[in-house]
Amino acid sequence: MKRRDEKKKEIIETVSGTVTEALPNTQFRVELDNEKIILAYLAGKMRKFRIKVLIGDRVEMVLSPDGDKGRIVKRT
Protein backbone atom coordinates (compact mmCIF):
# COMPACT_ATOMS: atom_id res chain seq x y z
CA MET A 1 0.00 0.00 0.00
CA LYS A 2 1.37 3.40 -0.98
CA ARG A 3 1.56 6.27 1.40
CA ARG A 4 -0.33 9.43 0.59
CA ASP A 5 2.77 11.54 -0.22
CA GLU A 6 4.07 8.84 -2.58
CA LYS A 7 0.86 9.08 -4.61
CA LYS A 8 1.32 12.84 -4.95
CA LYS A 9 4.83 12.38 -6.33
CA GLU A 10 3.47 10.18 -9.12
CA ILE A 11 0.97 12.78 -10.29
CA ILE A 12 3.31 15.76 -10.71
CA GLU A 13 4.21 16.23 -14.37
CA THR A 14 3.80 19.76 -15.69
CA VAL A 15 3.08 20.28 -19.38
CA SER A 16 2.09 23.26 -21.53
CA GLY A 17 -0.61 23.54 -24.14
CA THR A 18 -3.16 25.73 -25.90
CA VAL A 19 -6.89 25.79 -25.15
CA THR A 20 -8.82 24.76 -28.27
CA GLU A 21 -12.38 24.39 -26.96
CA ALA A 22 -14.35 25.55 -23.91
CA LEU A 23 -16.80 23.02 -22.45
CA PRO A 24 -19.40 23.26 -19.65
CA ASN A 25 -18.40 23.11 -15.95
CA THR A 26 -15.07 24.89 -16.53
CA GLN A 27 -13.65 22.04 -18.58
CA PHE A 28 -11.51 22.57 -21.66
CA ARG A 29 -9.98 20.67 -24.57
CA VAL A 30 -6.28 21.43 -24.63
CA GLU A 31 -3.78 20.66 -27.38
CA LEU A 32 -0.42 19.88 -25.84
CA ASP A 33 2.89 20.89 -27.39
CA ASN A 34 3.33 17.30 -28.64
CA GLU A 35 -0.02 17.68 -30.54
CA LYS A 36 -1.97 15.35 -28.22
CA ILE A 37 -5.46 16.59 -27.27
CA ILE A 38 -6.67 16.03 -23.70
CA LEU A 39 -9.55 17.06 -21.44
CA ALA A 40 -8.61 19.50 -18.68
CA TYR A 41 -10.39 21.23 -15.81
CA LEU A 42 -9.58 24.31 -13.74
CA ALA A 43 -7.72 23.98 -10.45
CA GLY A 44 -9.51 25.08 -7.30
CA LYS A 45 -7.42 28.23 -6.80
CA MET A 46 -8.20 29.37 -10.35
CA ARG A 47 -11.91 28.91 -9.70
CA LYS A 48 -11.67 30.63 -6.32
CA PHE A 49 -9.98 33.75 -7.71
CA ARG A 50 -12.07 33.66 -10.93
CA ILE A 51 -9.15 33.44 -13.36
CA LYS A 52 -10.61 33.52 -16.86
CA VAL A 53 -9.37 31.02 -19.45
CA LEU A 54 -10.36 31.58 -23.07
CA ILE A 55 -9.85 29.75 -26.35
CA GLY A 56 -6.32 30.34 -27.59
CA ASP A 57 -4.78 30.88 -24.13
CA ARG A 58 -1.52 29.14 -23.28
CA VAL A 59 -1.84 27.15 -20.04
CA GLU A 60 0.32 24.98 -17.80
CA MET A 61 -1.22 21.78 -16.48
CA VAL A 62 -0.53 18.91 -14.16
CA LEU A 63 -1.28 15.57 -15.84
CA SER A 64 -2.84 12.55 -14.18
CA PRO A 65 -0.65 9.41 -14.03
CA ASP A 66 -2.37 7.83 -17.04
CA GLY A 67 -2.01 11.08 -19.02
CA ASP A 68 -5.53 11.46 -20.42
CA LYS A 69 -6.77 14.24 -18.08
CA GLY A 70 -5.16 17.38 -16.75
CA ARG A 71 -5.69 20.12 -14.16
CA ILE A 72 -5.00 23.66 -15.37
CA VAL A 73 -2.88 25.37 -12.73
CA LYS A 74 -1.57 28.46 -14.54
CA ARG A 75 -2.45 30.68 -17.48
CA THR A 76 0.63 32.01 -19.23
| Nearest alpha carbon to residue 16 among 33, 40, 29 | 33
11 pLDDT tier (thresholds 50, 70, 90): low
Q: Which of 71, 49, 68 is nearest to 60 (CA)?
A: 71
- CA 51 to the chain's CA centroid: 14
**Multiple choice CATH, 4-75, 2.30.110.10, 3.40.50.300, 3.40.50.720, 2.40.50.140:** 2.40.50.140
What is residue 17's DSSP assignment? E
63 has a pLDDT exceeding 80? yes
This prediction's pTM? 0.83
Is residue 2 scored above 90 in pLDDT? no
Q: Would you list the domain boundaries of the chain?
A: 4-75
